[in-house]
Structure 1
């Protein structure tokens, strides 16, 4: 199935993605499994193929964009996001300005939703937008994606801004492909957690406790 998925997002056949999604349904592989297991694996295959010159940058870009579209399509209906946003804790997933690698953030959001966490994904919001958002909705944590080393300074500024807006009260986690190269910079900026493990985010930030409270009678 994974090979079929990779082929579908790389072909010029516009019906290939729909066909492979139907194959997943026929095999009784649900949307959550496709989003959190197959799509990340397909993205890694695309990246490796580009590094080994088996795919062009343009082909990988198109393939990744199609994977992102699949995530959006598969995650359209989530009970965790259906409740009144003003009445529950939630997680804000931020993609910093200039960051081109958005697939990881979308998959992380899908993983959180799969666990019953309410998620809002925002791409390159302004400081005013973030201030308004944080004032109008109670977020328990913010997850920031960092996919390239040249976005580290932007990410550091974003973390500092989030801490300033919330007077240090809001917990911030950073995830992405280049964490090992800039872990100290991120923690020095005020990041509470630097990890690619969604389960660690849920555990360390007590999101499972919040879910239990919401589900209690």
Structure 2
């Protein structure tokens, strides 16, 4: 369970705790170079979340962003949480929280990392805390992300680097025959998959991987989609499910689909459970 989580009605406690557990597990399982790449992905995705319509005057000052960064880098586990929740209580909108505080802190951390003012260990800790916060506040940070998205609109995406296409093609066809609006992504890069989900707003994304070698790419893709599509249902399928019992927790997915025969019913249950 997450340690010291403040009692606030807006927080999705399960998502918060799972994000915390995921980062701890990732650091146990993956080599340092892979963990560093994942931290860079989170910083990059959050840093480029820019204001669309919020008044510039209402954004936090640089001093407030610096204070949040210091809290995220501190030895106090929930210091950053307190700053974000205090801003929310003071009337900061979801857009200001996400695009002002969170994105601003990510840009600051990225700059500090590039200039060697923080170590890899420090920035990974701060990044995991920042990611945990946005997962906990996912419902308010992007409450309109799935507005108008059809429940049966699903994307089947082969994880970049994986070349086994037969299973994912069969699964996509199975869902189409059950009247789902199922789309297929094979051979697309990491950024292309993320851009496609931002453009088309899928209710669910099934990520297919068949080898443990795909784990870093799979985790990176889930992290990116969690940031850009906080409310989408993310599910893992393919041989990776048989190879690692903990794959769902490790990659931060909502669930796994162990076999194609039960895939339709399984995804229906996952969607129903999140309502």
Q: TM-score, normalised by structure 2?
A: 0.40
**Higher RCO (CA < 8 A, seq sep 6+):** 2
